[in-house]
Amino acid sequence: AMSIAAVTSGSFQYRTRQGRATLVPGALLLGNAGACFECGHEHAQGDRCLAFHFTPAYLEAAVAVTPRFAAPSLPPQPHVLPILVAAESARETDDADAFEELALRLAGTVLALQERSVPPRPSARDERRVTRIVRRIEAEAHEPLTLTALARDAGMSPYHFLRTFRAVTGMTPHQYVLRTRLTHAAVRLRNSAAPISEIAYAAGFSDLSTFNRRFRKLMGTNPARWRQRR
């Protein structure tokens, strides 16, 4: 089957005919039907994914194009995040009826967004360093995390760390921290009745107006409406 797997936590290495990639939370594993693949944990142990599998005939009929992934993965994408949060929420609440629509939305978006060129890969040593920082961000996104501090923890100069982090994850450290905070907040808005201000501060935002502005930019709506739409 054609496979699209969204990484929800942890990280791992993936290799298939289209190439190789290190996958972090928010990234999408892409697999073509009949292709051999290998996954491994070279730098850290454990991951969790939400995987969708499609027959090529179903996808071709649904999206009116011949489905084929040219790259092994896609980095975290703003267009995809609302779909992934909705799917994660549907899984937590066992909302089976929502999955067909979400799966189609995800497949159509991925086929439109997939990149046709694969950037040069960082060294295995640098991948290992960035993977460690990704896991730190995942666990400590609510804490103050500066570029300088993260680069020091990775054992790199800030400039080299910035370039390498972007090459591995598809975004800058600052963008990744913001995305992680907003993802945690979006899931909690869907699954709890806690006040929006409490959720914003717990996610690592220092004021509500900044949280509202950045949430709206990433999710396409404000936190209150996002919660109501569940």
What's the pTM value of the predicted model, to 2 decimals? 0.63
Give the pLDDT score at 76.
87
Q: What is the CA 163 to chain-centroid distance, rounded?
A: 19
* Contact by Cβ (8 Å): 188, 194: yes
Q: Do residues 186 and 229 lie in contact, with contact meaning Cβ atoms separated by under 8 Å? A: no
Tokens of 68: 């084929």
What's residue 84's pLDDT? 86
pLDDT at 117: 44
Task: Name the band, by pLDDT with cuts 50, 70 and 90, for residue 230.
Answer: low
Q: What would the two tokens of residue 62 be?
A: 């649904």
Give me 210's structure tokens. Answer: 């900044």
pLDDT at position 116? 47
Q: What is the CA radius of gyration of the chain?
A: 18
